[in-house]
Amino acid sequence: MTEDLRSFQVRTDLALEAKEMASRAYGEKIPGVESELEEHEGITVTRMSITSEEGARAIGKQIGHYITIEVPGLRRKDTDLQDRVTVLFAREMERFFERIRIPKDAKALVIGLGNWNVTPDSLGPLVVENLTVTRHYFELMPDRVSPGYRQVSAIAPGVLGITGIETSDIVLAIVEKLKPDFVVAIDALASKSLDRVNTTIQIADTGIHPGSGIGNKRKGLTREVLGVPVIAIGVPTVVYASTIVNNVMDLIIRHFKEQTSNTGYIFGAIEKLSEQERLQMVKEVLAPVGADMLVTPKEVDEFIEDIANIIASGLNAGLHEAIDPGNMGAYTH
C-alpha cells in the first residue's frame, strides 16, 4: 500500500505556481502545457493552456485556459498602476471571452463567492457590489437600453455556514430559472507565495470550487454541474503557515550557501530533503499544536478593497462594449 502524500504537497490554487513546481521535475517544457509571457511596465501576464490529460496530471490542474496577471506594485497603492491594471484586465477578459467563444450579446450571471463577514474571503461580495447589472432593464424597459450593453445579473449567495445551503445548489437553481448563457464566478484563493497575495489575478475557464482558498472542497461550479460555461476569476488572499515556514527554511539554506560551502554541517539531513519531504516535516511539527494557520497580510482590508474595485471595473468593461476601460479609473465609487 502506497502512502498518500497529497496532503503534504505545497498548497496553491494558482495554475502558474503549480506549473512552476512541476517544472522542477519535468523541466521548462511540460508535455501538454503551453504558456506565453508578456511584460507591461510592472505587470506580468502569463497565458497558459493545458491541452492534454498528461499535462493536467503533471501540474494538478484541469484541462483548460488560464491567465495570470501579477502586479507586485499594487501593495504601494499606486492609483496610476491600479488604473493600468484595470484596463489590462478588461482587455484580457474581452480576449478571453472571444477565445472561448462567448458572443457579445450572451447573457451573464456573475457569482460573488465568499463570506462578506471575513475580510480575506470577501472578494466576491465586494466585486458584486460594484458591478453594472442590467438584466432588470432588459426585462422592464428594453427599448431604453443603450447599444453596447449585455444582460448581466449578479448575486453574492453567501457560504454554507451562513445559509445552510450548498452554494452550488443556490447557483444551479438561479441558472435554471434565469437561463444565462455563461457564469462568471469570483472567489478568494490560496497561494504558496506571500508576494502573490492580493497582487495576482487568475482567470480560468475550468470553473471553481467554493471554499477552495481555505481547503474546503465543496461541490463545484463547473460546466458539468451548471450546464453552461463557467469562467473563474480568483485572487489569492491567504497562505498556509506551513508553506511560509517551508519557504523561509529554503531561503535560510540559500543564504548560508552564499556564505559558506559547509552548509551540511549546519543543516544536516534537512538540507537534503525534497520540498515535499520538508513540508511534510513542517506540517507534522505544526499540526499537534494547531499552528498550521491560514495567514493574510495585516493590511488585507485595504488590499482586498483595491483588488475588488479593479476586478469590478475591469469586468464591467469586459462585459459591456459601451464601457471603455481607457476612460475609467480603478474605482467605481
Q: Quick: pLDDT tens for 258-267.
A: 888 777 777 7
- Under DSSP, the state recorded for 11 is P
Report the chain's mean pLDDT, rounded to a whole number. Answer: 86
DSSP 312-324: HHHHHHHH-TTS-
Task: Specify burial of residue 39 (Cβ count, 10 A radius: 0-12, 13-18, 19+).
Answer: exposed
Q: How many CA atoms lie within 13 A of 203 on its CB side?
A: 24
Q: How confident is the model at residue 46 (pLDDT cuts 50, 70, 90)?
A: very high
pLDDT at 9: 53
Q: Who's near 194: CB < 8 A, 6+ residues apart?
A: 239, 244, 247, 295, 297
Q: How confident is the model at residue 23 (pLDDT cuts 50, 70, 90)?
A: confident
CA 40 to chain centroid, in Å, comes to: 20
Q: Angle at the Cα of 93 (from 115 to 136), degrees rounded to 5?
A: 65
pLDDT for 107-137, tens place per residue? 999 999 999 999 999 999 999 999 999 999 9
Between CA 252 and CA 250 the distance in angstroms is 5
Q: How many CA atoms lie within 13 A of 177 on its CB side?
A: 7
Between CA 50 and CA 32 the distance in angstroms is 6
Select 6-239+299-322's CATH number: 3.30.420.130, 3.20.20.140, 3.30.2010.10, 3.40.50.1450: 3.40.50.1450
Prediction pTM value: 0.84
Least confident of 44-48, 232-236, 264-268: 264-268
CATH 3.40.50.1450 in the chain, residue ranges: 6-239+299-322
208: pLDDT strictly greater than 60 = yes
